[in-house]
Amino acid sequence: MKSAVVLLPGLNRDRDMIAALTKISGHAPATVWETDTAIPDVDLIVIPGGFSYGDYLRCGAIAARMPVMRAVAEKAAAGAMVIGVCNGFQILVEAGLLPGALMRNSSLRFVCREVKLSVANANTAFTRSYRAGQVLRCPVAHHDGNYFADAETLGRIEGNGQVVFRYAEGTNPNGSVNDIAGIMNEKGNVLGMMPHPENLIEAAHGGTDGRGLFESALGLEAA
């Protein structure tokens, strides 16, 4: 399967994401720039983390209005898989591709540490390499990861199985409602998550728990 990484000024985990996709799939992903209005023919589009446009407005708000995001939305509507990690998640929410909002961490501070994630739904295109309820290690690094949705929306996404990852074992680092760490859209082809699986994919990272996400999305056999 082919993949592409969206590049925007101020994103800074693009190199991490490109390295992860390259190491796991054996192929370097294509890249698309903020002003690109078309995305090459790929099965998976990834929006990496960072601080797009400095996030001087609401996180992801400026990025969500760039031309390339219209192209991402079109691809998603046509069924391509989309993953947004950290700032990428914030951008997908701001672009209306995922429900809810990401608020400032309840501590009001940036937090970088390892947390535990439980796989809330293993029956998705992004998590089929994992078991339901499996607990993963995964790092987080963000200032605005406090997921929120109104009661009606929350009830709907919980009922539909759209919650894909939850912070587990008391490690919720940001105050997210229902310990939500990652969600997908109703159709199940767009995933947003705050933690960084791309930073836990090889021995040098001290673990490989993040690989399963990319292996699932790229249609590779679980290692």
Partner 1 sequence: MTIPNDVKITPELVASHGLKPDEYQRILDLIGREPSFTELGIFSAMWNEHCSYKSSKKWLRTLPTSGAVVIQGPGENAGVVDIGDGDCVVFKMESHNHPSYIEPYQGAATGVGGILRDVFTMGARPVAAMNALRFGEPGHPKTRHLVAGVVAGVGGYGNSFGVPTVGGEVNFDARYNGNCLVNAFAAGLAKTDGIFYSKAEGVGLPVVYLGAKTGRDGVGGATMASAEFDDKIEEKRPTVQVGDPFTEKCLLEACLELMASGAVIAIQDMGAAGLTCSAVEMGAKGDLGIEIDLDKVPVREERMSAYEMMLSESQERMLMVLRPEKEAEAAAIFRKWGLDFAIVGRTTDDLRFRILHQGEQVADLPIKDLGDKAPEYDRPWTEPVVRPALAADDIPQADVADALLKLLGSADLSSRRWVYEQYDTLIQGNSLQRPGGDAGVVRVDGHPAKALAFSSDVTPRYCEADPYEGGKQAVAECWRNLTATGALPLAATDNLNFGNPERPEIMGQFVAAIKGIGEACRALDFPIVSGNVSLYNETNGRGILPTPTIGGVGLLADWNRMARIGFAAGDEAILLVGAPKNWGSHLGQSVYLRDLFGRADGPPPPVDLAHERKVGDFVRGLIRDGVATAVHDLSDGGLAVALAEMAMASGIGATVNQLNGLSPVPLFFGEDQGRYLVTIARDRVESFHAGRIGDSGIFAPWIGTTGGTALKLGEARAVPVSELRRAHEGWFPAFMAGEPAPELAPAA
What residues act catalytically? 86, 196, 198
**If binding means CB under 8 A, how many residues of this protein chain bind partner 1?**
27
DSSP E strands: which ranges in the chain? 3-6, 30-32, 44-47, 81-85, 101-103, 111-119, 135-142, 146-148, 163-167, 180-184, 190-193
**Residue 67 interacts with partner 1 (CB under 8 A)?**
no
Strands 81-85 vs 101-103: parallel, antiparallel or unpaired = unpaired
- For residue 161, with 0-12 CB atoms within 10 Å meaning exposed, 13-18 middle and 19 or more buried, which class applies? middle
Give dist(CA 183, CA 193) in Å, integer. Answer: 7
Q: Interface with partner 1 by CB under 8 A: which range of 37-45, 89-97, 177-185, 199-207? A: 199-207
Q: Interface with partner 1 by CB under 8 A: which range of 50-58, 120-128, 178-186, 187-195? A: 50-58
Q: How far is the CB of 139 from partner 1 (least distance, A)?
A: 6
> In the complex with partner 1, which residue's Cβ is closer, 62 or 149?
62
C-alpha gyration radius of the chain: 16
Taking CB under 8 A as the criterion, the residue among 75, 116, 143, 166 binding partner 1 is: 143
**Residue 112 interacts with partner 1 (CB under 8 A)?**
yes
Q: How far does Cα 102 stand from its chain's mean position?
A: 13
**Residue 51 interacts with partner 1 (CB under 8 A)?**
yes
**Residue 20 interacts with partner 1 (CB under 8 A)?**
yes
**Residue 53 interacts with partner 1 (CB under 8 A)?**
yes
Q: How far is the CB of 96 from partner 1 (least distance, A)?
A: 24
Phi, psi of 190, deg, nearest 5: -125, 120
Give residues in contact with partner 1 (CB under 8 A): 9-10, 12-13, 15-16, 19-20, 50-51, 53-56, 109-113, 139, 141, 143, 196, 198-199, 204-205
